[in-house]
Every structure is written in C-alpha cells, then in structure tokens.
Structure 1
Amino acid sequence: MSLLNVGARALLANQVALQTAGHNIANVNTPGYSRQTVVLQTVQGQFTGGGYIGQGVDVQTILRNQSELLTRQSAAAGSTQAADAVRAQRLSQLQEVFSGGTQGLGAAINDMMNAFSDVVSSPTDITARTVVLTRLDETAARMRTASDRINEIEYTVKEQLQSSVTAINSLATQMAAINEQIARATGNGQSPNDLLDQRDQIIRDINQYVQTTQIPADDGTVGLFVAGSQPLVLGSTAASLSIDDATTFPGSGQSKLFFNRPGATPVELDENVLGGGSVSGLLRFQNTDLSEGRNLLGRMALAIGMTMNDQQNLGLTLDGVPGKDLFAFPTSMPGHTNGAGVGTVSFTGPTQFAASDYEIRFTTGTAGQVVRLSDGQSTPFTSAANLATLQIDGLNFNLTTPGNPGERMLFKPFSTAANNIQALVYSPRDLAAANPINAAMGTANGGTMQLGSLKATGLPNPPGLVLPANANPAAIPPILGGIQLQFTAGPPTTYDVLDRGTAPPTSLATAQPYTSGQPISINGWQITLQGTPKTGDTVVIGNALDPQYGDAYTRNAGNANALMGLRDVKMFDESTLTDGYAGAIAQVGTRTQSAKFAEQLSSTIAANLERDRTAVSGVNLDEEAAKLIQYQQAYQASAKMIQIAQNIFDSLIQGLGR
C-alpha cells in the first residue's frame, strides 16, 4: 500500500505540475499574467527499525513569480511615460496651428504689410487700396481660424479628460471588487495568484491615467492613493474622480481633477502633485501649454490690431475725413475669482504686451501685487486707486471691488482676442493713406537740407495730434497758417519753431538743436530732415486740409507709408511685427521638442523596467515546453508505479488464496 500511496501522490503532484505549465502556456499573451511554478515538498518519511521510509511528494503551493519592486517601478515609469506621450502628442497638434509656409498666419501678415507699398506708390489707385483691404480681411480670418483650431484642440482635450476619468472610476470599482475576493481567498492560507495578477494589471492600467501609491493591508487588500493622500480604493470601497472647472478661478477655462467621496465635498487636486498619467499630462497641456499658445496668438492679434488702428486713425481717407479703425477686437477682459474682487484689464500699450496670464494677489487691506504668471515677475500696489495708475506690460488693471486679503484674481487678457478680431473697413476710399499734414521746403532755401519723412504719430508732448492752424488770407493782417521751422547755421545748427496760425506769427520754441536725420517731434507729428541748412532756410508744416492746398492730400501717401513702416516696429519681446510670428513658432516649437525629448527618455526607462519585470514574471514558451516533457515523463512514471503496486497487490491476493 505504501508504494501505491507514493505513486498516487506522485501522479497527483505531476498532474498539478502539468496543469500549471499548461496554464502558463495558455496565458502567455494575457496582459499582466505572472508565470506560476509548482513548489513540491517531500512527505515526511515513516520511521521503521531500518530507518525512515519515504512516502512520496506533495504540492506545497503554486508560486507566483513576480517582483513587487519591479512591478511598482514599472507602473510608475509607465505613468510618467503616459503623461509625457500625451503632452508631446498634443503639443504637436498645437505646433501645427503655428505653421509656416504660404498658408500660415505669418505669410498673411507679411502680405498685408507689403500690400501698402502699392498704395504708397499710387495713393489714389482704388485697386491697390482694395488689395490692402483684402489682405487685412485675410489676416483677420487666419487669426480666427488659428483660434478656432486651438478651441478644437481644447475641446478634444476635455473630452479625453472626461473619458479618462470614466475609465479610472470603472477600474477603481473593479479593483475594489477584486480586493474583496482576494481578502476572502487569502483566509485559506494560499495565495490567489490569478486574482493578484488581475489586480496588478488594473493598478498598471490606472497608472496610465493617473499615478498612484499602493499600500498593502494585512488582509491581502491593497489601498490605492492618488495625489499623495486621497484614497481612490481602500479595501473593497472605491471613491471616484471627476473633471471640472477650477474652483479658485471659475469661468477661466482652467480644468482641475477632483476627488469625490460619498457625503463629502469634492477635493480639488493640485495637478503639480498628480505625478504621471495621461490625465496629468492633459491638464498640464490645457492649463499651461495651450494657454501659452492662445496668449501668443491673442497678443499678436491685439498688438497688430491696436497699432494699425492707431496709425489709421491719424490719417485721412480719400474723402478727407480721419480714418476709422481697421480692426475690431475686445477692449477689456474680466477677472476670474471665487472671492469678492471684481475688475477688468484693458489695453493701452500694444508694443509692451507680454504673452502671459496675470494674477492679482491681495495681501493686506486693498493692497497686493500683480504677478505675471509666465515668469513670476510681480508689481506691488497699495490700493485699487494706485493700481489704476500703473501700466503693467501695456495693461491697465481696474478694480471696481478689491478682493479680501488672501484672495486671488486671474486675468487672461489675450484669451479671446484672436477669436473675435474682425476687419472693419470695406470701402477702399476709407483707407486713411494720407498724412493729415504736409511739408514744404522754403523756395529761397540755400542749404542742402531735404525732406526725409513726415508722419503723424499721435505721441507728442502734449499728448494727442494737434494739427497746424489753417491759413486765413481774409484776416487782417493775413494769417498764413502752419508751423514754420526757421534754421540758423552753426555750429551748432539750431532752429526756431513759429506758429503761423497767428498774426504776427508766435514763437513756440527757439534755438532747438538740429541733427541731420534726427526726427523732430511736435504736437503728434514727426518730421525728419536730411542735409545741412543755411541761416534763414525754412520748412513749413501745414494742415493737409488747408483750403490753400486743395485736394493735394489725396495724392499724399504719408500715412500709408507709416502703416507699412509698422512692420519694423519692435512689439513682440523685442521682435518686429513681421518677425513676431516666427518668434511664436520658435516658442511653441521649442516647447514641443522638449516634450518629445522627455517622451523618448521616459519611454526608454519604462520599456527597460517593463523588460526587467517580464524577465521575472513573463512566460518563456521554450521553458514551459521543456517542463511539459519533464512532467509528462514523471507522470507516466508515476502511473507505472501505481501499475506495479497494483500488480504486486494482485499477486499477493492470489498467493493468499491458494
């Protein structure tokens, strides 16, 4: 009977080994499966006078081949890789918005500015004026198209965030159920290997969305925590996550991840402590990268629109009226807060704009500081009235109701500018190509001085454009009109400024230094003279609508030339108008390349750790095939042992029966 028992035990043990090897082979492609190994142990021998006689073998346990350390490291690395990958993918989409080539926004801006050259050459040419208006409309349309594309990207990001959170909640519920099964199964003293594999795979899947911390419990369950301390799964209970607008700045477009527990207020999670996972990458992209792209585009739309409007307003149309705005865009933007503060930001200095959002942080009383979020630079203020007097990066912040100490307000000055920009001038006659002033060199001048340029700037002291007075020949004595510059040869060469709008002319300034090629600015207009004057040489600057000049203003393209000259004005972080778009491309491109490099690095690390994990846990078909043969032979030998024991028993029975 002992031989029969030994054979039976061996047969059963080798059957389990064969079944386990088959189980490994069957699950070679199952995600998260860990190779299992049968652990055999010798049955305690039976003591006899001749020593201990062996009684065979038993199955001690089915061992799950896995490394807890490698499993956790692989999950964490995969989480980081998922965050980097989704951010790099989305940044590539944003980079496409800021594309170059003939179909890009940069080409449209260059074509718009260059179109003024034909108007400069022929101010009364309706066709040339029409081309300018077409280019203006095309530039505005491309800005809106780029803004629409950014809005589309934002929409798909929010959709992906919602679907990711739904997947996380579903996986958390599954894990809680498996935790409960594991807790029950662990009570029998053996490890439920397949359930443990399923749970580890769920943890890896959750980490693809949001990085987690795992803490094992004594009952075999594992607690899963997000953002450091929020229990997503605790035992057999699962909480949930959701995506919603930021509570601190409602209506700002910022999205946040919230932790939800039944009967408790949702907890807003700081994206900076989320770690890895696609949700973290998407939130970073939406709240930071996409916001920067929108700011770059919006700043460009506002700066170009405002500077061109200002110059257009200084000129005269073909009908002799001051020019009206070329573009329409928002003139102010509201602040966002969940506190008591109410305020707006308005635009005053288009050449000083920084592509950034801003925060007002209230400290004591109504005092606080304005923080530029792109680099953290702050500007303090003592009160709302004091803040209203400050111009910060070409912006004015106006608080109708200050916030309480500790509260914050978020301002997004450029977020909708490109989306709302529109061309306003439709008639070519309404393009203000003419200067509102003209200049004439004295007929008796004897020096080499020549007119270099003349334009209205609107930036004199005192502020505003003050046109020279018209002539009035009927007055007694007659009034000639205009401003006269009268020169005295040097060294040093100087000039006097005379107002001919009075009789006799009034002296406005005397002995002003003259330098050839150096602009002379008076009352909102600017004249540049080249060459050397002689004593007594004069230049008269007159009102272009002075009746004595007739319709000469229609053949004047001074303001069109000034509009074209805006392409060389530095307004985008010391870049000119025409170079500003290239700068935006470079900023987005640099950020994209950095994200792609981070993705490549994290992908390599994740792949290496996963390879190390599978080296321990993965199924090797060659090894399992060899084990099948080994266990098959052992099984057959065990069966033979039982057969021999049966034959011996039969012989014994037959012998006793004689």
Structure 2
Amino acid sequence: MSNRELLSIATSALRVTQKALDTTGHNIANVNTEGYHRQRVDTATRTPLFTGAGFFGTGVHITDVQRAYDEFLDNRVREATTRFSETDRFYRLSAQVDNITADPDVGLASAMANFFNAVHDVATDPTSIPARQTLLSEAGTLTDRFHLLDSRLRELDAQTQHELQAQIDEINTTATKIAELNHKIVHEIGKGQGHLPNDLLDQRDLLVTRLAEKIDVTPVPQDDGSVSLFIGKGHELVGGAHANRLGLKANDLDPNQQEITFDSDSTSLTVTKDLTGGEVGGLLRFREQVLIPTQNKLGRLAAGIALEFNQLHQSGYDLDGNTGQDFFVAPPIAVMQNGTGTVTATYTGPSADLQASDYLLEYDGSSYTLTRLSDRFQQTLTTFPATVDGIQIDVTSAPTGASRFLIRPTAEAAGKIEPNLDDPRRIAAAGSAGAEGDNQIALSLAALESDKKLLGGKATFQDAYGQMVTEVGSLTRAAEISRGAHETVKRQTLEAHEQLAGVNLDEEAANLVKYQQTYQAAAQVVTIASQTFDALINAVRR
C-alpha cells in the first residue's frame, strides 16, 4: 500500500470522525430541545483495493445521519396525548359543574327545604301575615337560586365556546406550519438525494403531537416525505403543502350554540359530531354529556315546581275570598326555527311526564317528524295540537316548505321562573271562600314536598335535584379516574420514547472521548504517512 493510500485512509477517518464529533455536539446542544430525537452517524468501509496479495481496505465513509426514531412509539405518544388531553379537559369542566350543583351555599337543596318549611308554616297558621310574607320571601329566594345556578351554567357555556374558538385558531395555525414544513422537507429530500432532514422532521413531529393535544389526528406518511393529516371521519386537514381550516358558525336553529366547520377550497361542512379526542373533544363531550343535560334537568325541576304549585294554588282562595292566581310565573317555552310557519308550545302537565330534553320538529313538505334529542326517539305527528311528554305543540301557521323548529321546554326554564305574588293576602291557602282558618290548599301545597311529581312519578323535587347532583358527581368521578389512567399511560409512553430518542449526556460524553481518541489516532496516521513519505524522498536523494 502506497503512502498516498495510507494518507487517504487517514484523512477519511479524520473527516468521518469530525462529523461524528459534530453530531455528538449537536446532540448535547439539543438535550433540552422539545421534540428532538438523538442523531447518529452511520458509517461503512470504502470499496477495498485489490492487489496481488489480496484486498486492502481504503478507509471509511458516511452513509447517512439518522435520528433515533420509532414510528410505533411516536404513534403511541400521540395517541396517549390526545386521550389524556380530552379526559383532562372534560374532567376539569365537569368538576366545576359538580362544585356548583353540590355546593350547599349555591345549590337548590337548602333553598327548597326553606321554601317548603315556609309553606308548612302557612298551613299551620293560614291567617298569619308574617308567615305568608316569609313564604313570599322564600319563594323569591328559591327563584333567585334557580337564576344563580342557571347563570353559572351559562357562564360555563360561554367559557366553553370561547375555549373552542381558541383551540380551533391554534389548530389552524399548527396545521399551516405543518404544511410549510412539508414543503421544506420535500425540497430538502430532493436536494439531499433521498437523505432525510432530521431536524425538520423533528419539528414536524413535534407539531403533530401538539396538534394531537387539541384534536384526534391521524398522520399518513407519503412517498415524497410529506405527511397528510386526517381528522374526524376522513377529513384531510393537511395534504402536502396545503392546509385546510376549521371554523365556527352559529347553529342554524340556536344561534347561541357554535358548530365546528371543516372549510376546504370548495366546500364547508359541519363536522361537530365527527370530531373526538384532544381538548376540542373534551369540550364537545362536556357540552353534550354534562352541560346541556344539567341545564335541562335544572329547568325541568323549575318547570315542575311552577306547574304543580300553580295548579293547586289556582284551586284555592286567598284571605279576601278571591280565587287563587298563579303562584309562580310559569317559564315560557322557547321555540326557534329555520324556515317558514309558526309553531308554539305550552305546558300541559302532568309534570311527571316532562323530559329533560329539547325537541326537533321537522317538516319535509308533507309530514311532521318530532325527535326527542336526549335519546333520539322519533315519532310522526299527524294532528295538531299534539301533546307529547307533558307539553302541547301546535302549528299555528303551516310552513310553506321544508322547515325545522327547535322546541326547548326545559333548557331555559330555570333562568325564567319568577314569583307571581307580592301581596301576602293573595296566597290562596283556603279550600273555600271566606272560611276563617281554612288551610286545605296550604296543606296540599305543603304535601308537594313529599309527593313524587317528577321522573314519571318516581321522584320528589328534592329527589330529582339529588339525582341530578349524583349524576354529575358520578360523571366527574369517572372522568377523574379515567384522567388518572390516561395520565399514567402518557407518562409511560413518554418515558419509553425518551429512552429511545432522548439525549443521554453520559453516553454522549463517552462518545466524545471515543471520537477524540479516534481523531487523534487518525491524525497520528497522517503524521506517520508524512514521515514515511519524507523518509522515502530522503532515501532517493541519497
């Protein structure tokens, strides 16, 4: 082997070792960089040189610079991240509802107990003006408590929609950045003749994981090095260098409710029910499984109390012998529409039939279909007025074409119930006009405390409220347990990922020593080759 070949071997070792040192330094520099995957230099022997004595090695060269990457582990991290984010957001919001409804200073239990105690006092002494005044005062306190709970739930609803907008804005921003990285990565792979730009891939993987915190996303690698991202039921959020967008729009029946849209260049689709996972999935689950049902159950209780009290109170007589009026202002039933025609709805009772649900009445041009939204139960209505679940629905002006009507018997009742009386003498405690000390109706009103007037005649007012609190508490507790489980899975997957891809400073320090010694040895080979060459030259000169 000639000195030139020896020098070539030595210089190849110097070049490769220098790049290995550069890569080690790069690893150390990025030890705290989020999403960074440890890199290594892959080497191979150069093509050997054949001589009469056999094949002699010609040195070393770099084949690639690879990152410590495992697609399976990265997918597990992404999936664990999206599941934890969903359950965490769902739990935190549900806990707020649980705290509101179960709080004795805010909840209804004590207010209802005090109200019925006042009713019992009037039944005990029906002519007592102080007892009657106390009843009116407790009625005002009870309705105020309904209003307070309703306002707190509506504040949570507003918070949820505000967060939904913030999450969607962040999803759109992240999707745009991923599309831009796709463009850069495809360009760099082409320029690098198939070699991968590891740092750009790390940046893109980190953004995909951050996107998974917001929504369940499925990445599909493409042959050119880009990645396509799909959400929901196959909606392509990112394809190559192009990103579609999510948006929010008001529900076409209830403008207070926001729907998520998937906006591409040519279409805009409502995809609210298609989306799961991440913080967006947690927000949507909370709205559908906790917030809306709680609002409806609270409203059912308010409407039930108003209906039962009004019905009995109207059958009695006040201190002046007048027929009883409504004790409460019964909440009106809201009807919202998209189309033509006019639909009205009123309470008919019994309150035991009331369901904690909204209803969707659809007219297709020839027939009416009513859907109870809480359980999707459908029925065809052929005549009007029609009585369904304790409410009467009437079409007072027929639609001229396809139309939809959202009927909300209970959702807004808690915020609209009001006391109707301000004069204690107007309380109708007597069963007959002019009967001194008659407490017949007052006794019946007091008995409502223990009568099972709700939930199909199986629950008292306190039972119905207690069941609502228990259901919210159970959902919250289940969410807390699920959150803990998903947090454990996420931590374990991150630890496994860190073991594979993370930078170990002890290992990198050992590599530095190894590469330093290799570099020094290769440099010594260069020195020896130079000295040998000089010795040959001197020998020739002699």
TM-score with structure 1 setting the length: 0.77
Cα offsets for 1:165-221 (capped at 9, x unmatched): 110111111111111110110012211001011111111111111112222222211
Distance 2:407 2:310 in 1: 24
**Aligned mates of 2:496, 2:400 — CA distance in 1:** 55
Would you tell me which structure has more helix in proportion to its own residues?
Answer: 2
Matches of 1:571 and 1:245, distance apart in 2: 36
| Candidates 172, 175, 180, aligned match of 2:178 | 175
Q: Which has the higher contact order (CA 8 A, sep 6+)?
A: 2
The Cα of 1:393 is off from its aligned counterpart by 1.5
Partner amino acid, structure 1, of 2:211:
I
Change (3 A) 1:366 1:160: same
Contact 1:40 1:61 in 2 (8 A): yes
Distance of 1:287 and 1:260 partners within structure 2: 23
Corresponding position of 2:316: 315
Deviation per residue, 1:357-399 (Å, 9 max, x gap)? 223345782243x332223333432x2xx242x3221111222
Matched, 1:164 2:167: yes
Per-residue deviation at 1:656? 4.3
Q: How does 1:184-203 map to 2 (within 5 A)?
A: 184-187=187-190, 188-189=192-193, 190-203=195-208
- State the match for 1:40 in structure 2: 43
| Aligned equivalent of 2:481 | 597
Q: Distance in 2 between matches of 1:340 and 1:607?
A: 55
Tell me how far 1:28 sits from its aligned partner.
2.2
Partners of 1:223 and 1:348 lie apart in 2 by 55
**Alignment-mate amino acid for residue 508 of structure 2:** E
Q: Give the conservation status (yes or no) of the 8 Å contact 1:10–1:635.
A: yes
Checking the alignment, whether the CA contact within 8 Å between 2:67 and 2:198 is kept in structure 1 is yes
Q: Are 2:79 and 1:72 equivalent residues in the alignment?
A: no
User: 1:294 corresponds to which residue?
Assistant: 295
Please name the residue that 2:268 is paired with. Answer: 266
Does structure 2 conserve the Cα–Cα contact (< 8 Å) formed by 1:42 and 1:58? Answer: yes
**Residues 612, 317 of structure 1: CA spacing in aligned structure 2 closer, same or farther, 3 A cutoff?**
same
Alpha-carbon distance in 2 for matches of 1:173, 1:639:
48
Question: Which range moved further: 604-613 or 104-113?
Answer: 604-613
Q: Work out whether residues 575 and 583 of structure 1, in 8 Å CA contact, stay in contact via their aligned partners in 2.
A: no
Deviations 1:527-565 (A, max 9, x none): xxxxxxxxxxxxxxxxx33xxxxxxx3422222222111
Q: Please report how far the alpha carbon of residue 112 of structure 1 lies from its aligned counterpart in structure 2 after TM superposition.
A: 0.3
Aligned-partner Cα distance in 2 for 1:341–1:373? 22
TM-aligned CA distance change 1:229 to 1:345, over 3 Å:
same
Note if 1:649 corresponds to 2:528. Answer: no
Aligned equivalents of 1:406, 1:66: Cα separation in 2: 56
Contact 1:366 1:404 in 2 (8 A): no
Amino acid at match of 2:177: Q
Partner of 2:424: 428
Structure 2: 5+ residue runs without aligned partners?
Answer: none
Q: 1:103 to 1:184 in 2, by over 3 A?
A: closer
1:415 is aligned to 411
**Alignment partner of 1:233 is 2:235:** no
2:102 to 86, 99, 102: 99
Read off the aligned partner of 1:213 and give its amino acid letter. T
Using the alignment, how far apart are the partners of 2:251 and 2:222 within structure 1? 34
* Aligned twin of 1:358: 359
Counterpart residue number, 2:504: 620
Pair 341,27 (structure 1): closer, same or farther in 2 beyond 3 Å:
farther
- CA shift at 1:258, angstroms? 0.7
- Contact 2:340–2:401, Cα closer than 8 Å, also in 1: no
Question: Which residue of the partner structure matches residue 19 of structure 1?
Answer: 22
The whole-number CA distance in structure 2 between the counterparts of 1:220 and 1:404 is 55
In the other structure, the counterpart of 1:373 is 373
Query: Could you tell me whether the CA contact under 8 Å between 1:108 and 1:135 is conserved in 2?
Result: yes
Q: C-alpha deviations, 1:220-261, integer Å up to 9, x for none?
A: 1111122232221111111111122234x343x433211112
Which residue of structure 1 aligns with residue 120 of structure 2? 117
1:544-555 equivalences in 2 (<5 Å): 544-545=433-434, 553-555=435-437
User: Is residue 557 from structure 1 mapped to residue 439 from structure 2 by the alignment?
Assistant: yes
| Distance (whole Å) between structure 2 residues aligned to residue 123 and residue 400 of structure 1 | 43
**Bigger mean CA offset, 306-315 vs 233-242:** 306-315
Q: How does 1:144-543 map to 2 (within 5 A)?
A: 144-187=147-190, 188-189=192-193, 190-247=195-252, 249-251=253-255, 253-262=256-265, 264-271=266-273, 273-336=274-337, 338-340=338-340, 342-349=342-349, 350-362=351-363, 365-368=366-369, 370-381=370-381, 383=382, 386-388=383-385, 390-401=386-397, 408-435=404-431, 437=432
The letter of the residue matching 1:371 is: T
User: 1:657 & 1:278 partners in 2: Cα distance?
Assistant: 82
User: CA shift at 1:341, angstroms?
Assistant: 5.8
How far off its partner does 1:139 sit? 0.7
Residues 1:568 and 2:450 aligned together? yes
Match of 1:63, SS state, is strand
Would the aligned equivalents of 1:359 and 1:371 in 2 still touch at CA under 8 Å? yes
- Specify the code of the residue in structure 2 equivalent to 1:220: G
Name the CA distance, whole Å, in 2 between partners of 1:77 and 1:342. Answer: 49
**8 Å contact from structure 1 (residues 254, 286) kept in 2:** no
SS at match of 1:571: coil
* Aligned mates of 1:178, 1:118 — CA distance in 2: 74
Q: Which segment is superposed worse, 160-169 or 231-240?
A: 231-240
> CA, structure 1 residues 642+302, in 2 after alignment: closer, same or farther (shift >3 Å)?
same
One-letter code of the match for 1:16? K
Identical aligned pairs, as a percentage? 33
User: How many residues matched?
Assistant: 534
Per-residue deviation, residues 497-529 of structure 1 (Å, max 9, x unmatched): xxxxxxxxxxxxxxxxxxxxxxxxxxxxxxxxx
CA contact (8 A) 2:333 2:408 kept: no
- TM-superposed CA distance for 1:598, in Å, is 3.0
Structure 1 residue 319, shift from structure 2 partner: 2.4
Q: Distance in 2 between matches of 1:433 and 1:408?
A: 44
Residue 145 of structure 1 and its aligned partner are, at CA, apart by 0.5
1:421 counterpart letter in structure 2: I
Separation (CA, whole Å) in 1 of partners of 2:169 and 2:179: 16
Q: 1:250 to 1:430 in 2, by over 3 A?
A: closer
1:365, 1:404 within 8 Å by CA — same for their partners in 2?
Answer: no
Does structure 2 retain, via aligned residues, the 8 Å contact 1:259–1:266?
A: yes
Task: Map residues 77-96 of structure 1 onto 2, 5 A cutoff.
Answer: 77-96=80-99
Q: Deviations over 1:81-110 (max 9, x none)?
A: 222221111111111221143542111011
CA 1:98–1:217: 2 relative to 1, 3 Å: same
Q: Is the CA contact 2:106–2:149 (under 8 Å) kept in the aligned structure 1?
A: no
Q: Deviations over 1:579-616 (max 9, x none)?
A: 22111111212222232333333333333333333333
Cα deviation digits, residues 49-103 of structure 1 (max 9, x gap): 2222222111111111111222223212321222222111111111122114354
The CA deviation at 1:570 is 1.3
RMSD after superposition: 2.2
Q: Secondary structure at 1:568's aligned position in 2?
A: coil
SS of the counterpart of 1:281? Answer: helix
Give the letter aligned to residue 621 of structure 1.
L
Tell me the SS of whatever aligns to 1:572. Answer: coil
The answer on whether the counterparts of 1:354 and 1:572 sit within 8 Å (CA) in structure 2 is: no
Give the CA deviation at 1:125.
Answer: 1.9
